[in-house]
Amino acid sequence: MRPASPLQHAFATALLDPSLPTPAGLCAWNGSDPGVRFAVYRNNVVHSLVAVLGDTFPVVRQLVGEDFFGAMARVFVAEHPPTSPLMHRYGGGFPGWVADFEPATALPYLWDLARLEWARMAAFHAADADPVDAQALVAVLQAPDRLAVSSLILHPSLAVVQSPHPVVSLWSAHQQDDDARDQQLGQLRLDAGESALVFRVDDDALVLELPAADAALAAALAGGAPLGAAQASHPQADLARLLSVLLRHGQVIGVTSGPVSGQHAPNDTPQPAPETSA
């Protein structure tokens, strides 16, 4: 692609910054003030991007309210314009940005909740993959010498979200009706940490709470660590229980000897893959 012209650059910059004047060189077909038309277009673009963020992070939006979320999202949009025409990829940097957004510091769990919601979005759009052949996995599990040095290749949609706050309960409460939501929220301790396994099954992105030790083990496996090393690093985790969960939901797509490269880092917020399945 050719680099943007000075006019294109000025247009794109002013589009997301209402403090900037209408770019020079614009004109209307009927000779009217182009600034009025540009203001309408600017408002529509910003409104659309804020709506995208609201759809991607609906629980965050509900927790802080429409007005606060709209104001927060507009600041993010101005600082972080889209880099892809695919709107399901927009917002990957939002959780980390929320962590540093001064007006949101009174809600320390907010950015972890945003990470959970982004993991769901990423899971929806991750590449498809078939579960591992059961016989191949059984052969490894029945050979202790192979088991220790074998690594699992996990589904592209899978992510682990760990938090010192009850992010799974916060998210699940907002999937209920108003009365059930309020009752569940009233019973929460905001200092009670929770961890989640997020992955896609068919056309749904599931959020499954895990014990903290199992989540740490899952994160190690997602990062490509061999089973033996991962288990040794997380002795409190229940490997058999975790494997049962992963296999039951079709999240193991391969097994190999030695560390696995190419899987996303376990604590990274995953980005949607180019392929879409939903």
**In sequence order, which ranges of 33-177 are alpha helices (DSSP H)?**
34-56, 58-64, 66-79, 94-99, 110-125, 134-141, 144-147, 167-173
**Dihedral (CA of 157, 70, 63, 166) sign:** positive
| Lowest mean pLDDT across 68-72, 132-136, 226-230 | 132-136
CA distance to 44, 97, 202, per residue, from 72 (Å): 17, 10, 33
CB-side exposure of 93: number of CA atoms within 13 Å? Answer: 11
Is residue 269 predicted with pLDDT exceeding 50? no
Is residue 180 predicted with pLDDT exceeding 50? yes
- The predicted-structure confidence for 116-134, as pLDDT tens digits, reads as follows 999 999 999 999 999 998 7
Is residue 165 predicted with pLDDT exceeding 90? yes
The pLDDT, as a whole number, for residue 270 is 47
Average pLDDT over residues 14-25: 82
Is residue 231 predicted with pLDDT exceeding 70? yes
The pLDDT, as a whole number, for residue 170 is 96
Rounded Cα gap, residues 30 and 49, in angstroms? 29
Quick check: 115 and 109 in contact, CB under 8 A?
no
Kindly report the average pLDDT of the chain as a whole number: 88
| 144 phi and psi angles, rounded to 5 deg | -55, -35
Is residue 268 predicted with pLDDT exceeding 60? no
The pLDDT, as a whole number, for residue 278 is 31
User: How would you classify residue 130: left for phi > 0, otherwise alpha for psi between -120 and 50, otherwise beta?
Assistant: beta
Residue 4: which pLDDT band, with cuts at 50, 70 and 90?
A: low
Tokens matching residue 177:
């009706």
| Lowest mean pLDDT across 174-183, 201-210, 247-256, 268-277 | 268-277
Is residue 140 predicted with pLDDT exceeding 50? yes
Find where tokens 């769901």 sit.
Answer: 120
Average pLDDT over residues 213-241: 95
| Lowest mean pLDDT across 43-47, 73-77, 195-199 | 43-47
Q: Report the predicted TM-score, pTM, of the whole model to 2 decimal places.
A: 0.85
Is residue 148 predicted with pLDDT exceeding 90? no
The pLDDT, as a whole number, for residue 259 is 64
Q: Which residue has the higher pLDDT, 148 or 70?
A: 70
Is residue 277 predicted with pLDDT exceeding 70? no
The pLDDT, as a whole number, for residue 275 is 36
Rounded Cα gap, residues 91 and 52, in angstroms? 8
| 5 phi and psi angles, rounded to 5 deg | -75, 165
CB-side exposure of 276: number of CA atoms within 13 Å? Answer: 6
| Residues β-bridged to residue 256 | 151
DSSP annotation string for 194-229: EEEEEEEETTEEEEEEE-HHHHHHHHHHHTT--HHH
